[in-house]
Amino acid sequence: MHIDAKLIPDHSVIEGDICIIGAGAAGISMALEWINTPYNVILLEGGGFDYEPAMQDLYRGKTTGQRYYPLESARLHYFGGTTGHWAGFCSVFDPIDFEKRDWVPYSGWPIKRGDLDAFYVRAQRNLDLGPYEYSYEYWRENDPSLVSLPFDPNAVFNKMWQFSPPTRFGSKYKDTIVNAPNIYLYTYANVTDITANEHASAIKQVTIKNLAGKQHTVKAKCFVLACCSMQNARLLLASNKQAPKGLGNDHDVVGRYFMEHIEIKSAEMWFPDPEQLKLYSIDYGKTKVRAELAITAEKQREHRILNGTASFSPLEAARNQPAFIDIWKSSDPKERAKAFGKFDETERKSKSSNGHNSFQLFTRIEQAPNPNSRISLDTETDALGMRRAMLHWELTPLEKRSIRMIYEIIGRQIGIAGKGRVRLMEYLRDEHDDSWPEFTGGGWHHMGTTRMGTDPKTSVVDANCKVHGISNLFTAGASNYATAAAPNPTLTLVALTLRLSDHLKRSAGIFV
């Protein structure tokens, strides 16, 4: 059922069993799981079904520290959320990503990769991906033309990616959600406050507002915050009536450990003869799988580096492409989509059927969890009177050292193979230089801010995504990530959400 919160009487009280706040990849995945259950599910979406500048403006905010994109352009504020413009890149986290690594401060999840496998299988379906297969061998068997570079698999391996069409959750799942008898989708329902009981140990209700001036109350037995890493943190911090520092923030962790993937051109690979590298190529909209070069867990341990991957683009075209941070700087996310289209076109045109002698190597690497990299609240408020989010993005020397080492390892491997040579870009050459070049960018992947862990002093939610100390408040999405891994976040955040959903179904006591 769909209800427009602008059209119902002011100060309505809405009641249900579960209240899911946010209708993006996480919120919709969660709601789909509850269709035809005995529970009434309230799904709150701040926007409508389409892009609206006024709604998007609610996401505006300042940034400091490492140069970043305009905040309002990085996410979409309508039903379907940021899947409305995602590119569909999917891969799984590696087992090492969940481990405590003594060289990566604050690393380690309270769950293992194996705990997510069954949910990855289900997430694949939500995202219209192929089989849950991410080994190079599997895909090579299906397509013998996917030939690997001859690397020692103990050092460098082919990390496989699958590509969603990309699934736009807004269009794909709208009818299913709207027609579900026990799902109550409210659009134009922006949560501006979460009200806890006196001791802030349980949530009683949330307040929703919209630009039509209406305000309503939603009561439920269980609340799931699923409105992206920035907004999850913003809401918890802004909800400070019962907990002065914000809900779940007794130890000043909410909003901290904000993580992005550093996405940056880093090196070149040169061959004496033209190479096709089909395995590593992508034709947007057509390619189902491709590989990126990744460093094995053993080598990461040996060199004490972060997890990252390298992708290939023909050098001739890549050299002339401006960096993402320079072309995707419009505050209007639709402009970003246009820029992305031009980017694809240039790359497509540059492809030669005879192959290429040189390729640009592009890095996507996790950022080390860093408490100083954070979301906080600005003094400026948005049109609904809510304090705006402010991002301070901060990197550490470990990220840069890791990128340099990744290409030294790849350079060694291509040298052992006698196949070609690697050349590092200028900014990586001085190992004592920790600065970042102007073209350093992120992937628009917001992670952390309500990180998962066992210790409330360094985490916000437990292994079941429940906010520490609050019995009926959960978070869904990439805000739960304790570390960022190398892959884009969508597949894993959907898997984590499905795991949370199963946990809630087992926790019948919560609905009494």
Partner 1 sequence: MERRAFVRLSAYTALVLAIPLADGCKTNPNDPLSQPFLFSRIADIKTLREAGMAYRKLAPHENDPTSLRQLLSEGKPTTDAKLLTTLLNRQVKQDFASAKVITVAGWVLSVTEARQCALFSILNT
Give me the residues that bind partner 1 (CB under 8 A), please: 267, 270-272, 357, 407-408, 411-413, 415-416, 418, 420-426, 428-429
Nearer to partner 1, 7 or 416 (CB): 416
Nearer to partner 1, 181 or 418 (CB): 418
Q: Identify the CA nearest to 136 among candidates 282, 294, 287.
A: 294
- Smallest distance from partner 1 to CB 153, Å: 15
Q: Is 314 helix (H, G, I), strand (E, B) or coil?
A: strand
215-219/13-15 β-pairing: parallel
Q: What are phi and psi of 508, to 5 degrees?
A: -60, -30
Separation of alpha carbons 187 and 410, rounded Å: 49
- Smallest distance from partner 1 to CB 398, Å: 19
Q: Identify the CA nearest to 308 among candidates 364, 239, 259, 236.
A: 364
DSSP state of 12: -
Separation of alpha carbons 55 and 46, rounded Å: 8
Separation of alpha carbons 18 and 220, rounded Å: 6
Nearer to partner 1, 293 or 428 (CB): 428
- Smallest distance from partner 1 to CB 157, Å: 18
Separation of alpha carbons 166 and 222, rounded Å: 31
- Smallest distance from partner 1 to CB 296, Å: 16
Separation of alpha carbons 192 and 203, rounded Å: 14
Q: Is 257 in contact with 371 (CB distance < 8 Å)?
A: yes
Nearer to partner 1, 405 or 461 (CB): 405
Nearer to partner 1, 10 or 273 (CB): 273
- Smallest distance from partner 1 to CB 275, Å: 12
Q: Is 422 in contact with 411 (CB distance < 8 Å)?
A: yes
- Smallest distance from partner 1 to CB 304, Å: 16
Q: Is 289 helix (H, G, I), strand (E, B) or coil?
A: strand
Taking the C-alpha atoms of 423, 425, 431 and 435 in order, what is their torsion angle to the nearest 10 degrees? -170
- Smallest distance from partner 1 to CB 306, Å: 19
Neighbours of 419 (CB within 10 A): 16
Nearer to partner 1, 11 or 432 (CB): 432
Nearer to partner 1, 125 or 429 (CB): 429
- Smallest distance from partner 1 to CB 302, Å: 11
Nearer to partner 1, 413 or 483 (CB): 413
